[in-house]
Amino acid sequence: QRRDQRGNKMSKNQTFQGVKFESPKTLEKACEAFGFDFMPEAKDIYFEDEIRDEEGNIKWVDGKMLTEMKRDERYVEIVHGKTRDRFDIVGSGYVIVPYKEAFDFADDLLQNGWSIIGGLALNKGEKAYMLLEDGQKIPTGNNEFIVNRITLMSSHDGSGKIEIRSTPSCTASGVAITTDASRPLSFKHTRNVNQRLQRANKVLSSVTKTWGEFSASAKKMQHVSITDEQARKFISDVIPAGAKESTRLDNIHAELFEIYKFKGTSTKLPMCKGTLFGIVMAVCEWSDGFRTVRASNKRDTVSAALESKLTMDGARKKARAWGLALHLAKGKGSTLPIKK
């Protein structure tokens, strides 16, 4: 049983801890299962303002200023339609689109071989994540695979967008390999039917292309052996001096090398052990399972961890590892011996 840096047992879903894994057959059932089946509402915002006379002077009575409550015409507050939990303050013209409509293109994905496998509502429903996979996979040995998954995200935090990320995941560890943390496929919320149909076609085309490129590169990396010296150099390039963790940089490098060499998932997978792909997996595993992610006033621990792994600091480290491995696999960096 693998353990994190605090000695706690690590689950087989390191990236997606907290996600509710179920397999609803339709988008409607998925929204019910994952808590997305509510209609957010716009709540008027009121503020206290002084009362003035016709000449613009503030009115006073018995030494007290007279005030009244006025509606703010510029902003509204988005709230959960059932629990009344508060999400965010947005402009009064903000278009509210419930998750069932925001994710409606998922029905087209389901008709084209994809399956919904999990979902999670963060911050009491302010943000929603849904996982899908299509059955395509890359063998890694010992009957384990890298499976093709995508993550859908929508929110009621004022951003007004939907993001689709490629998150191919290792069945042995549940770690997602982030190939590009900064440029997901993104759409603005819309209630226009024609635009949503066009969106579905674009998503299908994009995820098909992305998986094709990823699988070709991953298979190539599996056939590139690296020495321990090259592995250490790779780690120092992914987490260079001057990074946020620089005060304990040597310990981080040592910990990551230990994951790659001795205790990480790739050491148990014959097609990954000692390879360029194995060191990428080690970085992803360290980022998602061994790093400490702290909550904030805005996000609870589960939210902070998932967003770090998919969109923020953790995702950027994984994307950096993938980009460097691509560079080396194409022969543009250090010379690496080819595995026979």
Candidate ranges 136-150, 238-252, 322-336; pick with highest mean pLDDT: 136-150
Cβ atoms within 10 Å of 289's Cβ, excluding its own: 24
Q: What is the distance between the alpha carbons of residues 129 and 149, in angstroms, rounded to a whole number?
A: 13
Band of pLDDT at residue 47, cut at 50, 70 and 90: very high
Q: What pLDDT, on the 0 to 100 scale, is given for residue 84?
A: 94
Better pLDDT: 271 or 185: 271
Residue 213 reports pLDDT greater than 50: yes
| H helix or E strand, kind and range, residue 129 | strand 127-141
111 pLDDT exceeds 60?
A: yes
pTM score of the predicted model: 0.84
Local confidence band at 334 (pLDDT 50, 70, 90 cut-offs):
very low
User: Considering the chain, what percentage of its residues have pLDDT values greater than 90?
Assistant: 58
CA separation for the pair 217, 155 (Å, rounded): 32
Check if the beta carbon of residue 275 is closer than 8 Å to that of residue 141: no
CB 59 within 8 A of CB 66: yes
Q: For residue 297, what pLDDT is reported?
A: 55
pLDDT in tens, 224-276: 999 999 999 999 999 987 655 566 888 899 999 999 999 999 999 999 999 99
What's the token pair of residue 236?
A: 């120092």
pLDDT value of position 67: 94
The string of pLDDT tens digits covering residues 279-317 is 999 999 998 876 665 655 556 677 778 888 888 888 999
Q: Write the pLDDT tens digit of every residue in 3-44.
A: 444 444 444 556 787 788 999 999 999 999 999 999 999 999
pLDDT (mean) for 319-326: 94
- How far is residue 289's CA from residue 244's CA, in Å, rounded to a whole number? 18
| Residue 340 binned pLDDT confidence (cut-offs 50, 70, 90) | very low
Most confident of 53-67, 192-206, 291-305: 53-67
Q: What pLDDT, on the 0 to 100 scale, is given for residue 72? A: 95
At 99 the pLDDT is 93
Q: Which of 168, 193, 180, 164 is nearest to 277 (CA)?
A: 168
Q: Do the strands 161-166 and 185-188 form a parallel or antiparallel pair, or are they unpaired?
A: antiparallel
* Cα–Cα separations (whole angstroms), residue 111 to 25, 81, 106, 187: 10, 30, 9, 21
CA-closest candidate to residue 303, choices 143, 97, 95, 157: 157
Cα-based distances in Å from 322 to 174, 180, 184: 17, 8, 15
**What's the pLDDT score for residue 9?**
42
